[in-house]
Amino acid sequence: MTSVDRWQLPDGIEEVLPAQAATVERLRRQLLDLYRSWGYQLVIPPLMEFTESLLIGLGKDLDLLTFKLTDQLSGRTLGVRADITPQVARIDAHSLAEQGISRLCYAGSTLHTRPKSLLASRSPIQLGAELYGDNSLAADVEIVRLMLATLESAGLASITLDLGHVGVYEAVLAAAGLNDEQEQTVFDALQRKSVPDLKLALDGVDEAAADMIIQLAELHGDESVLARARKLFAERAPAALAAVDALQEVAADVSRQRPDLAIYFDLAELRGYHYHTGIVFAAYAPGHGEALANGGRYNDVGAVFGRARPATGFATDLKALMALLPTDAPQAGAISMPDVDDPALAEVVKTLRTAGEIVINCLSTDPDPRCDRQLLEQGGEWRVQALDN
């Protein structure tokens, strides 16, 4: 092993140095305070859990993202969390077990076996909010608004909201009558929005059903998409109309408070299809191809913990947000203090630090480079004076 190998980090794993760490920590505090002001209570789930509770009922995608190891105490398999949302669902269903609506928020590190995309970190700092116990569109709207407020509070403007609904795909699939193998092939092609692959996957399928699925892949854009969808599904897949109506209602409610918000509809959005049960949404910024935050409705995940609950929520990665923001400017100077054992000096330093000042012990003849002032004793009193350069 060379000296270079000793300090290299695994691909997709990053350290956060002081300037960037200051930005991340400011965002964390600022956003958790925002969630608190909306009534969301902070929870801190453990870094790892038994895989039975961490992964059950959540599909193979999360399973593949999760690092697993053997617990030396019990011999059972542990998972290092790749997503905090299921943990919060467990807390709501089992640990809290409250009746009525629960609003919970969180912030913490996660770990992925592989990056979710080419540019994604394998060690995101996930932050988010979840609303349990209410199945209404009003709850979805609240979560969407809080997601938008998150990005606004972080200093990001010109956000585009992407809206979809898994109920559209479910209704179209049911009306098409595909077998399991055809469903999987169609699902993969739709995720890529590849019409040529869709046509190949639908070879031999009823012409009307195949045409409906191909047109579904092209149902994305502004609000006119919803009118096209109603016309397409009215006779062929009427069960999809309720999902289209839900999308229109959510968009209208969000737009009333944010009339300038750009809203993009994607009726073939299948992100988290095996996990979500209703509205799905994401937020994008110009020039950034990855979603900055995303979420949706995921009812009944708590059923595996003995308590099915309606649920909706969103999450973001503080590292991804930090990368889009200017690094926090260094604080305006610091105060150097001599390394002497003096109770009077200690009391002055305590008062300065309580007031928010940075006071750094000088362990050599040269003060810390951040210091622009110093504590000097004059007439038996310790006073702050400018530091001579």
Separation CA 48–CA 82 (nearest Å): 9
Please give the distance of CA 69 from its chain centroid, rounded to a whole number.
25
Q: Rounded to whole angstroms, how far apart are CA atoms 47 and 80?
A: 6
- Cα-Cα-Cα-Cα torsion 310, 108, 44, 105, nearest 10 degrees, comes to -40
Per-residue pLDDT of the chain (389 residues; tens, 9 = 90+): 555 566 789 998 999 998 899 999 999 999 999 999 999 999 999 999 999 888 766 667 888 999 999 999 999 999 999 999 989 998 998 888 788 999 999 999 999 999 988 778 999 999 999 999 999 999 999 999 999 999 999 999 899 999 999 999 999 988 888 888 888 888 888 888 888 888 888 887 888 888 899 999 899 999 999 999 999 999 889 999 999 999 999 999 999 999 999 999 999 888 776 778 899 999 999 888 889 999 999 997 777 777 788 999 999 999 999 988 877 666 668 999 999 999 999 999 999 999 999 999 999 889 999 999 999 999 889 999 998 76
CA distances to 5, 12, 48, 117, 362 from 9, in Å? 8, 8, 22, 19, 33
User: What whole-number distance in Å separates Cα of residue 208 and Cα of residue 236?
Assistant: 8
